[in-house]
Amino acid sequence: MKSFVVLLLAFMAMVSAKTVTYNLTATWVQANPDGCHERRVIGVNNVWPPPTIEVDKGDTLVVHFTNGLDDRNSTIHWHGLYQNGTADMDGPSMVSQCPVAPGASVVYNFTVNQNGTYWYHAHVPSQYPDGFRGAFIVHDKEAYFADMYDEELVLPLSEWYHDEMQVLVPKFMSLYNPSGAEPIPQNLLFNETMNSTIHVKPNTTYLIRLINIGAFVSQYFWIEDHDFQIVEVDGVYTEPSTADLIYITAAQRYSILLTTKNTTDKNYAIGTRMDDNMLDLIPEDLLLNQTNWLGYNDDKSDYHNADPSLKDLTAPFDDFYLVPHDKQGILPEPDHEIVVDVSMDNLDDGVNYAFFNNITYTRPKVPTLYTVLSAGDDATNSLVYGEFTHTVVLEHMDVIQIVVNNADTGTHPFHLHGHEFQVINRSPSYGDDDPTPYDPESSDNPPFPDIPMRRDTVYLRPSGHMVLRFRADNPGVWLFHCHIEWHLEQGLVLTFVEAPKIIQEQTNVRPDHWAACADLSVPTTGNAAANSANFLDLTGQNAQVIFLPAGFTARGIVALVFSCISAFIGMGFIAWYGASDLSNTEAKIILKNGVELNDDQELDIQDTETVNPHLAHHN
């Protein structure tokens, strides 16, 4: 009987599931989202902002993607979607597919068996901050809060640059930016614009899906005089938690239930503010906080700025304490633990790079997924993926524990493709000089929560640490990286190859994906060095720049020795010169001129004449 019900439900799901098709063509468009500066942005189908993709849970999504950008490659990543069984649809270029050349097309085709708030964005280096990103909503009639709200809003947040990434990146990855200072954005966008009004009805409950589709700064979000309830983070339903201030990093999502007030007498400020701790410097003209309005009435006379000094920003809601609605318990002790230290350092070219355990991610010559598919039995050997893709091979169904220690002094939102993780420990921030790695033996560690919070993007605090767990139940090639695009550019990425033998069994790469590789002459077989004869031979792989030589090299020693020699020679000359002054002493002069001056000691006026003969003699 029970199995019959399950079957019936499955059948019902099949009939209700539909296929949703989108045609997305990336194109350059002019836009002026903040009203301060018009610039070229990447839109979709000649419109910016790109559309929100909406599907119902269980739907199959088919996206015909065409790269309409004339000057660069592109791909799309579906942020937060697990791609279970469709690892080739994940999107990162040189990981699960080849980049799509200008004018070329690929199809993304996958089934969405998830619910909640997601987003999509370009996943070639440094592209989506130019505008190619949008919301991806999976509606779910079964959600526990489905009948607790009347209306639904999607509010993307982001920071905005007036310069294109192709201007900013070379300056950022430069000898002349040795500290790796991230470019400072010009403004914060709210719903892709500024100074906007969200018109609301009184006494109504709204489901607001907040998505930080930005690439850098975290944002504080609050609504004047309103509390709200958090019901979802990154696609994971949570027990309702009341908050009045949340902290949203790049790529994080929050669904909140907001019940409006009974009266329409007053409009309220919606405040967003950059986390200025993430900025290396704060230009004088930078507005850290932006104000938009919750409009109960049309009278704008009471619009006023959401002055953050009126809002205590010290204690935003800590997502660590959220409880998933499904009450999934903590995963058992890990089968496989990965400990990584996050650091930033300069390599021999003077550029500042980011590292997991001294490896800065360097793209392989063959997309890693295609190496899995072509490596046969060698696919279980992490070596074939190259030394600088920082690949870790995971066994199917193992419990994986990632310990991330922050040796850097910045906040990093870490994202894992293909999974959400349980966050079982997250330290407070520590001082710049006091990076504190995770010590499993320490008695200071709080006990792991029984029902840990889960999400796909978790921030790590400055100089702190965190411990994440997930079960390797989703075969595929998944990146684990910081979602700050600048840090991605700096190489703060590692690769998980999860259950490679199963990937080989279940993956059937579409012909148009192979064709994309052919367009750009990207090899599709072989190891990271595109060597398909011997997968263990990495000769010619892309390698990171070498580390700076420590201390004195031959050049330095020669320079130092020569400096010392010239100083000694110089001092020798000085001594010589000084010693020759001895010939100027009276004694010497007297000796030279053969004069007895003793008599002259008693010199008086009459003696003048007696001295004169010397003078005459001398002349």
Partner 1 sequence: MAGVFSVEVFFVLFRESLEASIILSVLLAFLKQGFSGSGSDQVVYKSLVKQVWYGAAAGLFICLIIGGTFIGVFYSLGNDLWAKSEDLWEGIFSLVATVLITIMGLAMLRINKMKEKWRVKLAKSILDSHKHKDMSWWNPKRITTGYAMAILPFITVLREGIEAIIFVGGVSLGTSASSIPLPVFTGLAAGLLCGYIIYRGGNVMSIQIFLIASTCFLYLIAAGLFSRGVWFLEMYRFAKAAGGDVAENGSGPGSYNIKASVWHVNCCNPLIDGGWQIFQALFGWQNSATFGSVISYNVYWICICLTILAALYEEKHGHWPLLGRFQKKKMTEAEIDQMVREAASAEKLATVKNAGSHDIPMDSFESTSEEESKDVSR
Rule CB under 8 A: which residues touch partner 1? 175-181, 280-281, 345-346, 348-350, 352, 548, 550-553, 555-557, 559-560, 562-563, 566-567, 569-571, 573-582, 584-587, 589, 592-593, 595, 600-605, 607-608, 611-612, 614-615, 617-618
What distance in Å separates the CA atoms of residue 399 and residue 391, rounded to the nearest whole number?
17
Q: Give whichever of 346 and 506 is closer to partner 1, judged by the CB atom.
A: 346
Q: Which residues contact 73 (CB under 8 A, 6 or more apart)?
A: 67, 93, 99, 100, 101, 102, 124, 520
Q: Give whichever of 4 and 577 is closer to partner 1, judged by the CB atom.
A: 577
Distance from chain centroid for Cα 347: 19
Give me 104's structure tokens: 């070329």
Shortest separation between residue 37's beta carbon and partner 1, angstroms: 20
The 8-class DSSP code of residue 581 comes to: G
Shortest separation between residue 435's beta carbon and partner 1, angstroms: 14
What distance in Å separates the CA atoms of residue 126 and residue 342, rounded to the nearest whole number?
21
| β-pair partners for 30 | 40
Shortest separation between residue 75's beta carbon and partner 1, angstroms: 32
Q: Give whichever of 8 and 557 is closer to partner 1, judged by the CB atom.
A: 557
Shortest separation between residue 591's beta carbon and partner 1, angstroms: 11
Shortest separation between residue 41's beta carbon and partner 1, angstroms: 25
Q: Give whichever of 20 and 611 is closer to partner 1, judged by the CB atom.
A: 611
Alpha-carbon torsion, ordered 403, 406, 412, 418, to 10 deg: -20
Q: Give whichever of 181 and 323 is closer to partner 1, judged by the CB atom.
A: 181
Adjacency order of strands within the sheet including 116-122: 53-56, 133-139, 116-122, 76-79
Task: Give the DSSP H/E element, type plus range, for residue 563.
Answer: helix 554-580
Q: How many CB atoms lie within 10 A of CB 565?
A: 10
Q: What are phi and psi of 394, to 5 degrees?
A: -110, 140
Q: Give whichever of 242 and 563 is closer to partner 1, judged by the CB atom.
A: 563
What is the chain's Cα-based Rg?
34
- The number of C-alpha atoms within 13 Å of 163 and in the hemisphere containing its C-beta is 12
| β-pair partners for 339 | 403
Shortest separation between residue 547's beta carbon and partner 1, angstroms: 9
Shortest separation between residue 275's beta carbon and partner 1, angstroms: 19
Q: Give whichever of 343 and 457 is closer to partner 1, judged by the CB atom.
A: 343
Shortest separation between residue 529's beta carbon and partner 1, angstroms: 28
Alpha-carbon torsion, ordered 215, 77, 402, 343, to 10 deg: -40
Shortest separation between residue 378's beta carbon and partner 1, angstroms: 36
Q: Give whichever of 1 and 582 is closer to partner 1, judged by the CB atom.
A: 582
What distance in Å separates the CA atoms of residue 79 and residue 108, rounded to the nearest whole number?
13
Q: How many CB atoms lie within 10 A of CB 222?
A: 23
What distance in Å separates the CA atoms of residue 6 and residue 26, rounded to the nearest whole number?
42
Q: Give whichever of 16 and 553 is closer to partner 1, judged by the CB atom.
A: 553
Shortest separation between residue 161's beta carbon and partner 1, angstroms: 16
What distance in Å separates the CA atoms of residue 510 and residue 483, rounded to the nearest whole number?
28
Q: Give whichever of 38 and 607 is closer to partner 1, judged by the CB atom.
A: 607
What distance in Å separates the CA atoms of residue 255 and residue 217, rounded to the nearest whole number?
19
Q: Give 186-198 as a DSSP string.
A: SEEEETTBSS-EE
Shortest separation between residue 413's beta carbon and partner 1, angstroms: 23
Q: Give 284-342 as a DSSP string.
A: TT---EEEEEEESSS-GGG-----GGGS--S----GGG--BTT-PPPP-S-SEEEEEEE
Shortest separation between residue 280's beta carbon and partner 1, angstroms: 7
What distance in Å separates the CA atoms of residue 529 and residue 491, rounded to the nearest whole number?
18
Q: Give whichever of 327 and 618 is closer to partner 1, judged by the CB atom.
A: 618
Q: Give whichever of 117 and 177 is closer to partner 1, judged by the CB atom.
A: 177
